[in-house]
Amino acid sequence: MKRTPRTTSKQIKLIPGEFDDLDIAVSRKRLTDEELFGQQCRSAGLPLATPQLYFAQAIGRKWRFDWAFCEYRLAVEIDGVVVRRIGGQLVVMGGHASIEGIRANQEKGNTAIELGWQVLHFLQSDVSRKVAIEKTIRVLARKGWIRGTNTGG
């Protein structure tokens, strides 16, 4: 078995500008879908959105919204699911896919409505396809937000 010599970062000498033509995204960490949605909100000039807002502390619950437009009582939840092919069948996995997870989400969602919130739910793929941001813009507009009147986002 032939051994390949190990290379350490001290052995690599980079010439300034040598890799300028490479895609910068390669060196950056991949954004989570929640981070990407936040970036899309800022790019669209939406009103201030609070990430990971605890919305039910007054009733003793530690539930959080992924994103909340508090001024408009609009929350956005990005539901993570994993789909795998097992034994030739597609199987949905993740916290949102089990009976317990579905019940917990229903309780959280129903309580949010009881507390005066409107909640939009999206799949992770809806964020990258910009379905989530487009729907959020439309709902905010129906709630009175006018593009160009950003209140801090």
Quick check: is 20 in a domain? no
What are residue 109's DSSP bridge partners? none
Instruction: Please enumerate in sequence order all residues whose Cβ is within 8 A of that of 2, keeping only pairs 6 or more positions apart, or say none.
Output: none
Quick check: is 113 in a domain? yes
Quick check: is 150 in a domain? no
Tell me if residue 113 falls in helix, strand or coil: helix
**Any idea which residue has 């350490």 for tokens?**
8
pLDDT at 21: 40
Using pLDDT thresholds of 50, 70 and 90, give the confidence band for residue 150. low
Quick check: is 18 in a domain? no
**Number of domains present in the structure of the chain:** 1
Mean pLDDT of the chain: 82
Give strand ranges (E) for 39-111: 50-54, 64-69, 74-79, 82-86, 89-93
Using pLDDT thresholds of 50, 70 and 90, give the confidence band for residue 37. very high
Residue that wins the pLDDT comparison between 29 and 62: 62
Quick check: is 151 in a domain? no
Q: Domain of 123?
A: 32-142
Predicted structure pTM score: 0.73
Residue 95, domain CATH:
3.40.960.10
| Choice among 27-31, 72-76, 107-111, 138-142 with the minimum mean pLDDT | 27-31
Quick check: is 126 in a domain? yes
Quick check: is 149 in a domain? no
Average pLDDT over residues 129-145: 97
Task: Say if residue 81 is exposed, middle or buried (CB neighbours under 10 Å; 0-12, 13-18, 19+).
Answer: middle
Quick check: is 53 in a domain? yes
